[in-house]
């Protein structure tokens, strides 16, 4: 991960920045699926300065891989709503950080419906096994994205782990997130 590309969402009077950022990540996801990419990661470098996530999506990878990513027109109509920076080398002596997906049990009704489908239970049985107390109030920022495999919209909770000195190798999913790998942080 020695190169990066910044995509910054421009202010829009009709859409919130998080809505546009979610659409951008959905488009990137579809492109990463098409490329069968497991070597491209993302970060949201402004998430601490401009909560909840900032306006900038940073895409990390090798120079060749990022050039391949940008080779085809995958941004579509969003191109006019973005500032697209040039492909740049990662500065020397940077720190590293994990950026990963977090999943939470945030909806008791959804969990009950799932249990009913999987175990053939009635609503009352599922309700007795899954009380309202399982619901967690989550403060982790999220984007609403579309899955290319199921076509469904869902909340993609994104967590930036603590900064560390040494990079950690690993693979990235098709949202550019990883359980084990880190990205350069600067």
Active site amino acids: 29
Sign of the dihedral defined by the CA atoms of residues 20, 27, 4, 182, in that order: positive
């Amino acid at each position: 991960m020695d190169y990066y590309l910044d995509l910054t969402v421009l202010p829009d009077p009709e859409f919130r920045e998080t809505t546009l950022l979610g659409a951008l990540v959905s488009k990137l996801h579809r492109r990463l699926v098409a490329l069968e990419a497991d070597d491209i990661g993302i970060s949201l470098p402004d998430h601490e300065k401009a909560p909840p996530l900032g306006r900038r999506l940073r895409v990390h990878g090798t120079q060749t891989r990022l050039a391949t990513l940008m080779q085809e027109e995958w941004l579509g109509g969003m191109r006019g709503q973005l500032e697209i920076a040039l492909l740049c080398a990662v500065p020397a002596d940077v720190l590293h950080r994990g950026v990963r997906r977090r999943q939470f049990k945030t909806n008791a009704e959804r969990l009950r419906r799932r249990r009913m489908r999987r175990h053939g239970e009635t609503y009352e049985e599922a309700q007795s096994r899954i009380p309202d107390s399982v619901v967690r109030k989550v403060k982790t920022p999220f984007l609403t994205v579309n899955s290319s495999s199921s076509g469904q919209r869902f909340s993609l909770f994104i967590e930036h782990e603590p900064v560390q000195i040494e990079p950690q190798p690993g693979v990235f999913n098709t949202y550019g997130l990883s359980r084990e790998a880190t990205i350069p942080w600067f």
